[in-house]
Structure 1
Amino acid sequence: IMAGEAVVTVRLVRSFEHRNFKPVVFRGVDLEQNVEDFINYVRTDVATRAGLPPPFKKFGYDTLKIIHQAHGAKTNELVMSLEDDDTLILRPGLTLAAAGVANETEMAFFSGKDYGLFKANPETVW
């Protein structure tokens, strides 16, 4: 891995209520690219990636949030923490590095609208 390139895991979250997610690993991620560019890259990759069920390929993902960093404490939440959105949600206009992404960072990729609804009423169903 070259300097500025990282391995990151992106959890594609289709449903918070049903804890429905799939982790996808990306290698050689340029941490100097903008958040928007990475979001577009992941969307394109996921839409064409072999082995992912169709509902995951076509979902309206629009928000990335850091779940945990390498060597950091993992959250006990099954999908992701509902805390610290101000610091952990990746903001457009920043580079991945500036947003806090480093090698071996794990992120969730989800619909911001769904997240808002779930956060207002964080019930999980089985």
Structure 2
Amino acid sequence: ISPGDLTQFIRLIRSFEQRNFKPVVFQQVSLNQTVQDFIHTFLPDIATREGLPPPFRKYGYVILIKCTHLVLLFQTNELVMSLDGDEKLILQDDQTLKAAGVANETEVGFFRKEDYVFYKANPKSKW
């Protein structure tokens, strides 16, 4: 697999409490781009993607992205996303995807920082 032929899974998270998320697949992703460049690549796609409900397309995601599943390495028992390991798993804007530990078929969560901080302080579901 060449660096430009990788597949990445983005988990768009609208609500941690209500476990409201949608997975989206992006193909031909280069691991040599920065996290910020990757976000700028897929953000316009989300706004116009067919099959994605309008609430997910129009949600005001604040740029915070966290690895939720690395193929063959770890998975979380949390339905939406693990609340542990922020220092290792939250991707930094200026890092390349490769330097951040992202590989082919890595799943990352995309959400609002304030929603995550609020949920992490009181991780209760509302459903």
Short-chain TM bin: over 0.9
Q: Which amino acid aligns with 2:34?
A: N
Native 8 Å contact 2:67 2:90 kept in 1 = yes
Native 8 Å contact 1:10 1:24 kept in 2 = yes
What residue is the counterpart of 2:20 in the other structure? 20
2-structure distance, mates of 1:18, 1:47: 22
What residue is the counterpart of 1:93 in the other structure? 94
Native 8 Å contact 2:13 2:110 kept in 1 = yes
Native 8 Å contact 1:63 1:110 kept in 2 = yes
- Shift in Å, 1:105: 0.3
Q: Which runs of 5+ in 2 are unaligned?
A: none
Question: Cα RMSD (Å) of the superposition?
Answer: 1.1
Q: Which runs of 5+ in 1 are unaligned?
A: none
Q: How does 1:61-76 map to 2 (within 5 A)?
A: 61=61, 62-76=63-77
What residue is the counterpart of 2:34 in the other structure? 34
TM-score (norm 1): 0.95
Native 8 Å contact 2:3 2:29 kept in 1 = no
Q: Give aligned-pair identity as a percent.
A: 56
Q: Which amino acid aligns with 1:9?
A: F
2:126 aligned with 1:117:
no
Q: Helix, strand or coil: the match of 1:82?
A: coil
Q: How does 1:69-84 map to 2 (within 5 A)?
A: 69-84=70-85
